Amino acid sequence: MHSPVQVYRPEWNSGFCLDAEGSVASRRSVLEAAVEANAVLLPAHFSAPHAFHVQEKGSGFAVVDAI
């Protein structure tokens, strides 16, 4: 993920996503696994939040418990 907005809208790609469909599938897979495992995500490209949990929200996800 390149931007926090991609947590909320995993179907939104950035200019760095060379494989649009694969990028969306990859983000959804990571976010779904994080929800299932209650894992903390530490995305390298975010300026903030630096670490957080996610929960499912509508057709996307939401940042919760940001550190």
Over range 34-63, report the average pLDDT.
93
What pLDDT is stored for residue 49 in this prediction?
87
Give the range of the structural domain holding residue 15, as residue numbers without chain letter: 5-64
Q: How many domains does the chain have?
A: 1
Share of the chain above pLDDT 70, in %: 100
Predicted confidence (pLDDT) at residue 46 exceeds the cutoff of 90: no
What pLDDT is stored for residue 48 in this prediction?
84
Residues 29 and 21: their CA atoms lie apart, in Å, by 12
What pLDDT is stored for residue 45 in this prediction?
86
Asked if residue 17 lies in contact with residue 25, where contact means CB atoms within 8 angstroms, the answer is: no
What pLDDT is stored for residue 63 in this prediction?
95
CA 30 to chain centre: 7
